[in-house]
């Protein structure tokens, strides 16, 4: 053990303290690197251009929105758990969709605070799971639902058809449909709610209507 490491006991939990940039940071020894405190000086974060899955990089999810293309603003996760959630979404949801239908077009993926402040129109960072496991300055999660979300469409394929594939094939937390030719929103998350909503326009507002998995069954 190096001179900068020490083990000490707090209650029944063994803690390891590492001197990082002149400050002491402690965490349970049993934690993995994926659950370390969200500090760049404590744990290295993946490069955005590293593969999150077989065909998707982290940058694919961070640099896909119209807002990012318009502003080029910094939009990189600061929490290791966000990278893990992005990878899970890519492996469990996006990869199966591409294998079934071909290339997809991502329209909105990870959205950190700097990006969301530049988004035109109504968004709901506390609910939409686009912020992953990122936190506010106060330490609270931006979206308590955690997980990660992405909006995408498959060129030439109805989003209803894609939604049917998702509902019957892959794990997901929440799925939002906006129309046959509009991108759909899908997330993974610890609740595994498998909640499905169709967003219907009412004046200038979009009103969610709950759907059941049975609504996507294919009749003989």
Tell me the per-residue pLDDT of 139-158, one tens digit each, with 9 for 90 and over.
999 999 999 999 999 999 99
Distance CA 129, CA 111 (A): 9
Given pLDDT bands bounded at 50, 70 and 90, which one contains residue 6? very low
List C-alpha distances in Å: 126 to 32, 136, 143.
Answer: 27, 11, 4
Residues 213/61/65/179 CA torsion (nearest 10 deg):
-10
> Do residues 82 and 68 lie in contact, with contact meaning Cβ atoms separated by under 8 Å?
no
Burial 9-26 (b: 16+ CB within 10 A, else e): eeeeeebbebeeeeeebe
Q: List the chain domain ranges.
A: 46-216
Task: Give the mean pLDDT of 110-122.
Answer: 93
What is the structure's pLDDT at 218?
65
Given pLDDT bands bounded at 50, 70 and 90, which one contains residue 44? confident
Structural tokens at position 211: 């759907």
Task: Give the mean pLDDT of 43-72.
Answer: 95
Distance CA 179, CA 198 (A): 8
Distance CA 162, CA 183 (A): 10
Is 31 or 51 the better-scoring residue by pLDDT? Answer: 51
Distance CA 220, CA 207 (A): 31
What is the structure's pLDDT at 216?
85
What is the structure's pLDDT at 32?
41
What is the structure's pLDDT at 156?
96
Give the right CATH number for 46-216 from 3.30.1380.10, 3.40.190.80, 3.40.720.10, 3.40.50.150. Answer: 3.30.1380.10
Is pTM beyond 0.85? Reply is no
What is the structure's pLDDT at 116?
96
């Amino acid at each position: 053990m190096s001179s900068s490491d020490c083990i000490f006991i707090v209650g029944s939990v063994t803690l390891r303290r590492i001197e990082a940039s002149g400050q002491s940071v402690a965490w349970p020894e049993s934690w993995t690197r994926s659950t370390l405190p969200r500090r760049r000086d404590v744990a290295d974060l993946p490069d955005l251009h590293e593969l999150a899955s077989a065909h998707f990089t982290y940058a694919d999810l961070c640099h896909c929105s119209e807002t990012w293309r318009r502003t080029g603003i910094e939009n990189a996760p600061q929490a290791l758990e966000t990278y893990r959630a992005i990878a899970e979404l890519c492996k469990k949801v996006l990869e199966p969709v591409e294998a079934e239908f071909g290339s997809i077009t991502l329209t909105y993926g990870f959205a950190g605070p700097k990006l969301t402040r530049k988004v035109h129109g109504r968004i709901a960072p506390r609910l939409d799971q686009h912020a992953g496991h990122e936190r506010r300055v106060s330490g609270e999660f931006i979206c308590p639902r955690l997980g990660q979300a992405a909006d995408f469409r498959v060129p030439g394929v109805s989003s209803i058809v894609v939604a049917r594939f998702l509902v019957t094939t892959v794990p997901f937390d929440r799925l939002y449909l906006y129309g046959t030719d509009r991108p759909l929103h899908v997330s993974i998350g610890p609740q595994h709610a498998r909640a499905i909503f169709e967003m219907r326009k009412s004046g200038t507002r979009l009103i969610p209507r709950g759907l059941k998995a049975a609504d996507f069954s294919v009749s003989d």
